[in-house]
């Protein structure tokens, strides 16, 4: 049983399961992958459901996803999670995509189904569940500012906000062109809307240092950080602290450290804040239900994630 497996370990079932008491049937694929918290969460759910299998970390090089998935299918894997940097590459390796995966344009979950590779995305619906759990409100009822809409997580979150019909979404990104092109894509969700005059009333693209950012943030109910800023102690804030007001809910997709500088700023401003652990949990529970319908237990999975009973 290794903390991290590589594609070389997929040479045979015997090699893969050497020294382990249960066969590997699920995995999380990424690079680097050794820090992934997914195995603890999913192994707890597998054990609770009485499913005799193990969940492993598999390090895969960019460009090797298709070949790796084919090999896993041959070895009888049930499915896998896909993480950085493979969420876009994995799309091309799929035979089918679910509606969520198509809408978001990235996948984080795969099911091997009778010779077919099905790609799905649970990151965005997982975030919606997390917001409800943390703040007791529906994401679709909020005006939302998303920071980092040039990345995979930010795109997925902003797309989910548009799909749920959020009245206003501010797409904030250092490279503003990426936010602008996402705003164009998301306009389709507003074209048929009868309660807005037009897409221009709902979607705004800007940089974090735009002179209008403070006023825009003032109109938002929820601010979501989907940049990596906050993972390192010396990182600057992803948004000026002066933008945060007491009425805000602030959600940081980062969960290590548990209190980022942004969450500390939210606390200092009298706003409510929460970190990305709940998003990780709910995307995991939705993935588990995709592999084993109706069998995810979020209480058990949370214990597996935090190591607490
Ligand atoms: P990514 O693809 O690398 O996204 C990077 C985004 O952050 C881009 O919009 C980028 O802007 C912006 N950015 C990067 N460095 C920046 C800097 N120095 N200043 C300003 N903006 C910067 O990463 P990702 O996969 O989307 O993940 C983003 C964050 O979400 C990570 O912290 C990740 O851990 C977290 N996440 C959490 C969960 C969860 O379950 N809780 C799930 C997924 C991701 P440009 O476009 O200008 O480069």
Q: Which CATH number do you get for residue 90? A: 3.40.50.10860
Are 282 and 265 within one domain? no
Ligand 1: nearest atom to the Cα of 235? 18
Rg (CA), the chain: 20
CATH code of 210's domain: 3.40.50.720
Whole-number pLDDT of residue 152: 85
Are 131 and 250 within one domain? yes
Are 175 and 268 within one domain? yes
Are 179 and 139 within one domain? yes
Residue 97 in 3-state DSSP?
strand
Are 290 and 226 within one domain? no
Q: Ligand 1 centroid to 238 CA: how many Å?
A: 10
Over residues 242-297, the pLDDT tens digits come to: 999 999 999 999 999 999 999 999 999 999 999 999 999 999 999 999 999 999 99
Residue 52: domain span: 5-120+278-307
The reply to whether ligand 1 has any atom less than 6 angstroms from the CB of 164 is no
Are 264 and 297 within one domain? no
Chain-centre distance of CA 150, in angstroms? 14
Name which of 22-31, 109-118, 178-187, 299-308 the model is least confident about.
Answer: 299-308
Q: Ligand 1 centroid to 225 CA: how many Å?
A: 8
Q: Ligand 1 centroid to 147 CA: how many Å?
A: 9
Are 193 and 231 within one domain? yes
Are 241 and 286 within one domain? no
Res. 201: pLDDT tops 80 = no
Chain-centre distance of CA 239, in angstroms? 21
Are 134 and 263 within one domain? yes
Asked if residues 68 and 29 have their Cβ atoms less than 8 Å apart, the reply is yes
Are 39 and 142 within one domain? no
Asked if residues 147 and 227 have their Cβ atoms less than 8 Å apart, the reply is yes
Are 138 and 256 within one domain? yes
The reply to whether ligand 1 has any atom less than 6 angstroms from the CB of 255 is yes
Q: Report, as residue numbers or ranges, the catalytic residues.
A: 87
Name the closest-CA residue to atom 27, ligand 1.
153
Whole-number pLDDT of residue 245: 98
The reply to whether ligand 1 has any atom less than 6 angstroms from the CB of 106 is no
Are 206 and 301 within one domain? no
The reply to whether ligand 1 has any atom less than 6 angstroms from the CB of 235 is no
Whole-number pLDDT of residue 151: 87
Tally of structural domains, the chain: 2
């Amino acid at each position: 049983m290794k903390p991290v497996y590589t594609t070389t370990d997929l040479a045979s079932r015997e090699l893969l399961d050497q020294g382990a008491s249960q066969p590997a049937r699920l995995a999380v694929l990424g690079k680097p992958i050794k820090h992934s918290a997914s195995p603890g969460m999913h192994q707890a759910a597998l054990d609770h459901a009485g499913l005799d299998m193990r969940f492993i970390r598999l390090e895969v090089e960019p460009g090797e996803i298709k070949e790796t998935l084919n090999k896993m299918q041959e070895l009888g894997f049930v499915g896998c999670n896909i993480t950085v940097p493979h969420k876009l590459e994995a799309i091309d390796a799929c035979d089918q995509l679910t509606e969520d995966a198509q809408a978001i344009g990235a996948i984080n979950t795969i099911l091997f189904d009778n010779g077919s590779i099905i790609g799905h995305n649970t990151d965005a619906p997982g975030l919606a569940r997390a917001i409800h759990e943390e703040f007791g409100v529906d994401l679709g009822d909020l005006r939302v500012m998303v920071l980092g809409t040039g990345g995979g997580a930010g795109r997925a979150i902003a797309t989910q906000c548009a799909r749920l019909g959020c009245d206003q979404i501010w797409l904030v990104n250092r490279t503003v062109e990426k936010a602008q092109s996402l705003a164009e894509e998301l306009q389709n969700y507003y074209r048929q809307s009868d309660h807005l005059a037009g897409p221009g009333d709902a979607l705004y693209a800007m940089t974090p240092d735009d002179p209008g950012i403070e006023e825009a943030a003032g109109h938002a109910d929820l601010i979501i950080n989907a940049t990596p800023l906050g993972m390192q102690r010396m990182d600057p804030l992803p948004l000026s602290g002066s933008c945060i007001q007491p009425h805000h809910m602030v959600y940081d997709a980062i969960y290590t450290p548990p209190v980022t500088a942004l969450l500390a700023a939210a606390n200092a401003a009298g706003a409510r804040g929460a970190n990305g652990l709940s998003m990780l949990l709910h995307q995991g529970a939705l993935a588990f239900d995709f592999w084993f319908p109706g069998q995810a237990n979020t209480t058990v999975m949370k214990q597996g994630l935090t190591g607490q009973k």
